[in-house]
Amino acid sequence: SAEGKYTIGISNTVQGNGWREEMICAMKAQALASGEVTKLNIAHRNTDAAGQLEDIRNLISAKVNAIVVNPADPAGIKAGLEEATKAGIVVVAVDQAVTEPSAYIISNNQEQYAYLGAKWLFQQMGGKGEVFYMRGAAGASADSDRDKGFKKALAEFPDVKVAQEVFTGWQQDQGKQQILSFLATGAPFNGIWTSGIDNVIVDALVESQAPLVPVVGADNAGFVGQLSSVKGLVGAAVTNPGSIGGAGVTLALQILNGKKPAQQTVLVEPQLWENATEEGKAKLKAAADPSLSPEWPVSISIPDWTTYTKEQIVACKGPGE
């Protein structure tokens, strides 16, 4: 409604990954759509917590009004966020929680993400059998949160065993090589849980004419498409929207405008879209979007939180660009 009056700083520490790229584009699109942002100040590169501290402090130097951050580590950037709050800057963490109490958090619930998918998978497997557990990057906090959720589901199904646990490093080639090696061993398995490296896994199963066991992945465009198009594939996509970045910008603007949320933490609960039931199929159909890059999550908007159009997020233009 008003012309832009705020500058917002953004800090992100993983570059070149479809999910994170979508998150950045959502932030830009939302900032543009809101009409309240004059300028986005984006620090977006591959680095660690110390590097993110540097970026946050640079953003403080740049005197932004709010910082939206996808933390490299929940605890590791506490000092920087604290300094930001002291400088009167609104801090919103997206995607993962942070330990700094003054920061607001709007996040996908990673533990729930894993729990939901794993539980569905184990049910599909009939409550027993061997599961191939393909995790993310060893040592990443999102990975260890998801591990908690996975273990929680596993505990509920005592007859399900982990046939093999691997770290894909969230890298497509590594995931594909691992599944192919695993397939080549001829070891029996009844389901695959992946931490978001999903479409290459289905490819591998199809290429090597292996039995199509149930597969759980994320809502990446490629995988969602496969769930509708690959014959005989049973699987589920658990949403992990990259558009959470747009929600973060919205939250920051709300706070700047004096509308503080009731709690510091707002969790966006994941949804599960499966293709085992007609109802699920319909959801998948609705969500599928072949025009997107296969690495992009299809859930490009979050109701109530984002107001941009698909064109806007795909254009990936922020205010003033």
Partner 1 sequence: MSSSATMPQPVSFGRRVKRFMADRPLVPLIILLILLVVILQILRPGIVNERWIANTIKFAIPLAILAGCQTMTMLTGGIDLSVGTVATMSAFIMATQIVSQDPVVAFLLAMMPAVLIGLINGIGVGVFRVHPLIMTLGTSLIGTGCLQVYQRTVIASGAKIPDFLNWLGTGLTYGFPNALLLFVPLAVLIVFTLRRTGFGRLLYAVGDNERAARLSGVRYWQVITALYVISSLLAGITGLLYIGLIKAPSLSLAEPLVLPSVAAAVIGGTSIFGGRGGYTGTIIGALILTVLTTLLTILQMPEGARRILFGLIVLFVTAAYLRIVEER
Partner 2 sequence: MTRFFRNQGWVAGLFALFLALFVLTKLIQPGYGSGDFGSLVRAVLPYAFAVAAQTVVVIAGGIDLSVAAMMALTSVTAASMMNGASEEYALFVVPFVLAMGLVLGALNGILIVVTRVPDIVVTLATLFVLQGAALLVLGAPGGAAAEWLKASIVGTLPIPGLPDSIDAWVPKALVLLVVCLCIIWIPLRRSKLGLSIYAIGSSELAAFRSGVPVARTRIIAYALSGLFAAMGGLALTMSTGIGAPIPGPYLLASVAAVVLGGVALGGGKGGLLGPIVAVFVLRLVRTDLTLLAIDPNVTAIIEGAIMVAVVMFGAFITIRGRPAGAMP
Q: How far is the CB of 86 from partner 1 (least distance, A)?
A: 33
Q: How far is the CB of 37 from partner 2 (least distance, A)?
A: 12
Binding to partner 1 in span 138-167, by CB under 8 A? 138, 164-167
141 binds, among partner 1, partner 2, none (CB under 5 to 8 A by kind): partner 2
Q: How far is the CB of 174 from partner 1 (least distance, A)?
A: 6
The DSSP bridge partners found for residue 194 are: 134
Q: How far is the CB of 155 from partner 1 (least distance, A)?
A: 20
- Please give, one letter per residue, the 3-state secondary structure of the chain: CCCCCEEEEEEECCCCCHHHHHHHHHHHHHHHHHCCEEEEEEEECCCCHHHHHHHHHHHHHCCCCEEEECCCCCCCCHHHHHHHHHCCCEEEEECCCCCCCCCEEEEECHHHHHHHHHHHHHHHCCCCEEEEEEECCCCCHHHHHHHHHHHHHHHHCCCEEEEEEEECCCCHHHHHHHHHHHHHHCCCCCEEEECCCCHHHHHHHHHCCCCCCCEEEECEHHHHHHHHHCCCCCEEEECCCCCHHHHHHHHHHHHHCCCCCCCCEEEECCCEEECCCHHHHHHHHHHCCCCCCCCCECCCCCCCCCCCCHHHHHHCCCCCC
In angstroms, the CA 63 to CA 111 distance is: 35
**Is there a contact between 264 and 104 (Cβ–Cβ < 8 Å)?**
yes
Q: Report the residue from 96, 172, 299, 306 that binds partner 1 according to the rule CB under 8 A.
A: 172
102 binds, among partner 2, partner 1, none (CB under 5 to 8 A by kind): none
143 binding partner 2? (CB under 8 A): yes
Q: How far is the CB of 172 from partner 1 (least distance, A)?
A: 5
180 binds, among partner 1, partner 2, none (CB under 5 to 8 A by kind): partner 1
Between 5 and 44, how does the x/- string for binding to partner 1 read (CB under 8 A)?
A: ----------xxxx--x---x-------------------
Q: Report the residue from 17, 41, 85, 271 that binds partner 2 according to the rule CB under 8 A.
A: 41
114: left (phi over 0), alpha (psi -120 to 50) or beta: alpha
62 binding partner 2? (CB under 8 A): yes
102 binding partner 2? (CB under 8 A): no
171 binds, among partner 1, partner 2, none (CB under 5 to 8 A by kind): partner 1
Q: Which is nearer to partner 2, 159 or 321 (CB)?
A: 321
Binding to partner 2 in span 6-25, by CB under 8 A? 7, 15, 24
Total of residues contacting partner 2 (CB under 8 A): 42
Q: Applying CB under 8 A, which residues contact partner 2?
A: 7, 15, 24, 39-51, 53-55, 57-63, 72-79, 137-141, 143-144, 321
Q: Applying CB under 8 A, which residues contact partner 1?
A: 15-18, 21, 25, 138, 164-167, 169, 171-174, 176-178, 180-187, 199-200, 203, 207-208, 222, 290-296, 314-316
